[in-house]
Structure formats: structure tokens, C-alpha cells
């Protein structure tokens, strides 16, 4: 039991680090200062859960009661910042294909885990019967941090325009909702999270995108 | 009684469709993908009520308990998206004066109805004595969805800069607050909502705008 | 006792006026109309407290129950707007070094007072044991209004990129947390708020900034 929780926690922390780094990178690209990098990094990592807690009325949001996620995000952001600050070679590395692939993979893990965590939180808060709400809370836990990051960095939310990001989270949430009554929780968690990761990795490799409308400019 | 509720519901759904279409059009103009169009459309339609529920502490926000509004918005957005996607002629129609006039009228109905609904919700939640709060909740229910739409689309909120938008909602809210203790609710609803629609239609026709300051550039 | 509360209230109102004016100035620069100027001004003044109340679950947010802050902000914004509208000479004055210095000083007072008020609110709401939460609520009360202002004006939040803004608030919050158990509340309030003001004034004079990463453009 303790062993299983530990594995789950490690996976959550991997996701937290990936989300924090994605927020920090956006802040660095926008030329924000150290505090801006920290704030964007941490908010990307814990923002989805904060939105979820505000919606279901958990007071105060759980991130304040269990600071391990904020602390992990903070440490990850600081390490990234000082590597970027003092090593030109590492700066180049961070823009490499390898780094991007690795971050994409970690980010996918975070998306999968956070989606499932969000749904569990909804169930524990007594909303297990509202299926629409449950799925929504899973997706918002997964993508909410990235939305806050993009709003604060004043750029169109990534989730609204590229690759199959929110859709992967949605697929995982629906999968978890269907599996949960039919098998034990651990199996449902693993399958749902793996589904999210698989969709994200394939979406990046084969450049899947949702349809969009090509309009002529009219102005 | 059932008949009256039905009429009210139809009017609410007309407003929902208009708001959803306005969100979807912004998303299409910003070249967002299908998911982005859906998210912006739905959030424009139900976002005002969601902000109101967060402020007064309705948990979870009522949109999750009665999914008819989200479903209506979703269907409206999907129809709009596929019309725009597959018919160049319809694309042109959507940019026509007729379409804009029709949407403006439906949007005005939505603004009027949502403003009144927001105030009723405040009263039902026990805040009938806080007049300032009641009016604010009416206005935020009316304009909040549009604000969320513009924040997520990274453009200055329409409500802050053009035509008499929030002012129409505010006039309707004040009217409803004054009429409610003096006549029966149905009459107050109809008069207040009609006031909002009238102001909006006249504001568009005669290009009413609030004063603004013309400053020289200093940079 | 009454005397002390009055002094504190005056200081709070000075901060409210400064924050409201900073929001109004941003709105005027963005060519928003009168309503936009009012909304941005008021939201800058009371937005930080609103975010805090949403996070800790005060329903409805206290700004609705005690409208003195909204009223003060509204009056300040209206005066500023009509001065700017009708007097070209005053417009020039508003862009002068003197005005900026004065506003910066008032803003620093607001930041200091709001930070302390936010922490007091957290303690009164029963979160005195969660030190991390207490400090966070202090800082968010201080800087949250400015963040909402910048998000609605579609510009990168000032707090993320310039001078020692949030850091001053953070220093004041930590100072208050450390002093509170060791001396009487009034002294702790004064010292903490003065610390914030001092840091802000020095940061402006000596152009302190947090480190940032200079990256080459890669696009």
C-alpha cells in the first residue's frame, strides 16, 4: 500500500516538474525576471488543481495544505533558471529536439496523472454521481495550469490551438470514468494515464491536429 | 406556470445560442482549432453564470448540475463550425450585415435575460438585502462570459471599450431592482429584459459610445 | 481604539486611491471608454481582496458587504477621468515625474497595507497555522488587483517583470509573520508596512531589478 502510494507520488512529481519547467520556459522566452519565472512555473504546476478546488469548494485549495507540489515546482524552476542563466551551452541544449521530446513526454505523464487525480478528487468530494462534472474536473486539473500560464503570459492558450492536448486529457477522463466501476482503481488509473501519454506522444510524432477553418482576411 | 417557465427557458436558450456563436466566431477569427472553438463558445455562453456561482459560493457551479445550457451551446457551436468549414457561401453570409444584426439582437436578448437570471440567483441564495451585490451579480452574469472569452482569446475585453454593453446590463439590473418590490415578478422580468434589448439595439443603430480620452502618444 | 482604526482606515483608503488611479491610467492609455476606466480602476483597487476571499471561501467577497472601498475607488477614478478629459495641462502633469513619484509612493503604501490586511484576514478566517497560506494570502491581496488589471488590459502582468514589486510584498508578509507572535499587533503592522514602502521607494530610486536571462532570438 505504502509502496503504491509512493509510486503514484513519484509520477505526480514528475508531472509537476514537467509542468513547472514548461511554465518557466514560457516566462524566460517572454523576458520575465526571476520572480516572473517562479510564478509562471509554479502556477503552471499547481494552477489546474487550484481551479478545480475553487470550483468544487475545497477551502483552502489543497495546494496550501500539502506544500510538496509547490516546493517541487519551485526547486525545478530555480534549477532551470540558474542553468539557463549561467551556461550558454545549456541554453542551446534546452532548445534542442532531445529536450523538447523529453519535456513533451514528462508533460504527457503530468497530463495523464493530473487528469486522474482531478477525477479522484471530485469523487472524494462527493460528486461521483455527476459524470459531466467529474470529467470536466479531470480535464481542468490537467489543462488548467497551462491555461493560467498562457493567460498570464498574454498568449493564446496553447490548449486551444495546438495538437491534441485537451482531447488527450478528455479521452483519459472518459476512459477512467468507464473503467472505474468495472475494475480495481489501480488498474483504471494506469490504463487511463497511459492512454493520455500514448495519445500525446503519437499526436506529436504524427502532427495530429484538430480541424480548423481557413478564412480569408476581411479587414 | 409550466407554460411561463417554458417561455423563459426558450428565451434563455436563445441567449445561450447567441453567446455561444459570438464566442465561436472570435475563436474562428483567431484561427483556433475545433476544440478552441468549442471551449470559447461554451465558456462565453455559461461563463458569466460560473463566475457568479464562484462569487456567491454555489458549489458546484449550477452549470454542472443542469447541463442543458452547456449542451445547447455545444450544439450551436458545432453547427456553426461545420457550416463555416464546408460552405464558403455561408462564410460570406456570416460576415454580412444581416447576420451581424440578427446576432446583435439575439445577444441583446441573452444579455437581458442573463442579467435578470443573475439577480434572481442572488436573491434565491439569500443576498436579496445586499443591493450592490445583487446588481453586480446581475451584470457579471450578463457580461462575464464575454470577458472570459476575450481574456482567453487575448484581446481587450469588448465590454470595456465598445458601445453601451455593460451599461445596458446595468440599466436592466437597476430597473429590475426598483420594479421587483413594486409589481409581480413576471412583469419586472419582462420590462427589465426589454429595457436591455432596447438600449442595445438603439446603441448599435445610433452608434452610442461612452466618452473616452484622446491622448497623444508619448512613446 | 477608535482613533487607531481610523488611522488604519485612512491608510487603507490612500492605498485604494493609488491602486484605483493606476488601473485608470492603464485603461486610459489603452483608449478604453469611461466604463472601461471605471472597471479597471475599481478592479485594481479591490481585486486582490476579491481573489483572497475566493481562495479562503469568504462568501460573498467582503468588498460587497463593505462598499466603502469600491466607493472610494469609484470617486478617485471619476475625478481622474474628468481631469484628464477636460484639461490638457493636467494630462501633461499626469505624465510628469512628480506625479509618477507621488503615485509610486501611494502605491507602495497600498501594497504594504493590503499585504498586512490580507494576512489578518487569513488569521481571522482561522488559517493562522498555515504559514505558507498566510504569506501567500498577504501577497495576493497586495498584488492581485494589479494582476487582474493587466490581464484585462491584455498586457504582461507588471508584477512579473519589473522592479521589486511582489518581492517587497513578500518581504513585508514574512516580516509580519515573524513579528506578530513577538510583539503587539499595531507595532507589527507599522513595521511591516513601512518595510514594504521602504523597499519600493529604494527599488525605484536605485532601479533594482531581479535577475533575468538574456536569450538570443531563435525565430
DSSP string for residues in chain B: -HHHHHHHHHHHHHHHHHHHHHHHHHHHHTT-BHHHHHHHHHHHHHHHHHHHHHHHT-SS-GGGT-THHHHHHHHHHHHHHHHHHH-HHHHHHHTSHHHHHHHHHHHHHHHHHHHHHHHHHHIIIIITT-HHHHHHHHHHHHHHHHHHHHHHTTS--GGGTSTTHHHHHHHHHHHHHHHTTTS-HHHHHHHHHHHHHHHHHHHHHTT----B-------
C8 CB-contact burial (10 Å; exposed 0-12 / middle 13-18 / buried 19+): middle
- For the ranges A77-81, A199-203, B203-207, C51-55, which has the lowest average pLDDT? B203-207
ipTM of the modeled complex: 0.79
Instruction: Report CB contact under 8 Å: C32, B57.
Output: no
> By a Cβ cutoff of 8 Å, what residues of chain B touch chain A?
27-36, 39-40, 54, 57, 59-61, 64-65, 67, 70, 81, 84-85, 91, 95, 151-154
Percent of all residues in chain B with a pLDDT value above 70, rounded to a whole number: 94
pLDDT for B97 equals 78
CB A46, CB A127: distance < 8 Å: no
CA distance, residue A166 to nearest chain C CA (Å): 23
B126 Rama sector, left if φ>0, alpha if ψ -120 to 50, beta otherwise = left
pTM comes to 0.85
Is the pLDDT at A43 greater than 50? The verdict is yes
pLDDT of residue B1: 46
Q: Give the span between the Cα atoms of B193 and B196, in whole angstroms.
A: 5
Q: Which residues neighbour B144 within 8 Å (Cβ) at sequence distance 6 or greater?
A: B47, B48, B49, B50, B51, B52
Residue C122's alpha-carbon distances to A14, B132, C117, C126, in angstroms, are 32, 25, 9, 7
Q: Tell me, what's the pLDDT at C216?
A: 59
Measured in whole angstroms, the distance separating CA C176 from the mean position of its chain's CA atoms is 17
Radius of gyration for the alpha carbons in chain A, expressed in angstroms and rounded: 17
CA distance B139 to B172: 9
Task: Tell me the average pLDDT across B31-47.
Answer: 90
CB contact set of B150 (below 8 Å; sequence gap of 6+):
B26, B156, B157, B158, B159
Structural domain boundaries of chain A?
Answer: 2-205
Average pLDDT, chain A: 85
CB atoms < 10 A from the CB of B59, how many?
18
Residues in chain A: 219
pLDDT > 70? residue B216: no
Name every chain C residue with its beta carbon within 8 A of the beta carbon of B155: 154
Burial class (CB in 10 A: 0-12, 13-18, 19+), B96: exposed
* DSSP string for A65-105: T-THHHHHHHHHHHHHHHHHHH-HHHHHHHTSHHHHHHHHH
- A132 pLDDT exceeds 60? yes
Pick among B212, B218, B219 to test the C interface (most C CBs inside 10 A): B212
At residue A122 the predicted structure's pLDDT band, cuts being 50, 70 and 90, is confident
Residues from chain B contacting residue A51 (CB–CB below 8 Å):
none
With a cut of 50, say whether residue B219 has pLDDT above it: no
Residues 6+ apart with CB under 8 A from C205: none
The set of cell numbers assigned to C217 is 532570438
What's the pLDDT score for residue C3? 55
SS3 for C89-116 is HHHHHHCCHHHHHHHHHHHHHHHHHHHH
pLDDT over threshold 70, residue A37: yes
C-alpha cell read off for C173: 508578509
Omega cis (within 30) before B96: no
Give first-to-last CA distance, chain A, whole Å.
62
Which residues on A lie below 8 Å from B36 (Cβ)?
A: 157, 159-161
CA distance B176 to chain C (A): 19
Q: Do C130 and A65 touch (CB under 8 A)?
A: yes
Q: What chains are in contact with A, requiring at least 3 Cβ pairs below 8 Å?
A: B, C
Q: Which residues of B touch A218 (CB under 8 A)?
A: 95
CA distance C129 to chain A (A): 10
Name every chain C residue with its beta carbon within 8 A of the beta carbon of A41.
Answer: none
pLDDT in tens, chain C (219 residues): 455 567 778 888 888 998 999 899 888 888 888 888 998 999 999 999 999 988 888 878 888 888 889 999 999 999 988 888 877 777 777 777 777 787 788 888 889 999 998 998 888 888 878 888 889 999 999 999 988 988 888 888 877 776 688 889 999 999 999 998 888 888 888 899 899 999 988 888 887 777 777 765 554
pLDDT digits (tens, 9 = 90+) for B79-105: 988 888 877 777 777 777 777 787 788
- What's the CA gap between B178 and A183, in Å, rounded? 58
Amino acid at each position: 500500500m505504502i509502496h503504491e502510494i509512493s509510486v503514484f507520488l513519484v509520477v505526480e512529481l514528475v508531472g509537476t516538474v514537467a509542468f513547472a519547467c514548461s511554465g518557466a520556459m514560457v516566462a524566460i522566452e517572454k523576458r520575465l525576471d526571476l520572480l516572473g519565472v517562479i510564478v509562471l512555473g509554479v502556477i503552471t504546476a499547481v494552477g489546474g488543481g487550484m481551479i478545480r478546488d475553487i470550483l468544487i469548494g475545497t477551502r483552502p485549495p489543497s495546494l496550501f495544505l500539502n506544500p510538496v507540489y509547490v516546493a517541487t515546482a519551485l526547486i525545478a524552476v530555480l534549477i532551470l533558471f540558474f542553468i539557463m542563466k549561467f551556461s550558454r551551452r545549456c541554453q542551446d541544449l534546452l532548445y534542442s529536439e532531445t529536450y523538447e521530446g523529453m519535456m513533451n513526454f514528462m508533460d504527457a505523464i503530468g497530463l495523464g496523472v493530473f487528469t486522474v487525480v482531478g477525477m479522484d478528487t471530485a469523487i472524494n468530494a462527493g460528486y461521483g454521481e455527476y459524470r459531466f462534472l467529474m470529467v470536466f474536473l479531470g480535464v481542468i486539473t490537467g489543462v488548467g495550469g497551462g491555461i493560467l500560464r498562457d493567460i498570464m503570459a498574454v498568449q493564446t492558450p496553447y490548449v486551444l490551438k495546438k495538437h491534441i492536448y485537451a482531447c488527450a486529457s478528455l479521452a483519459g477522463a472518459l476512459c477512467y470514468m468507464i473503467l472505474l466501476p468495472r475494475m480495481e482503481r489501480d488498474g483504471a488509473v494506469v490504463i487511463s494515464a497511459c492512454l493520455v501519454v500514448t495519445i500525446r506522444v503519437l499526436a506529436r510524432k504524427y502532427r495530429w491536429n484538430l480541424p480548423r477553418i481557413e478564412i480569408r482576411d476581411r479587414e
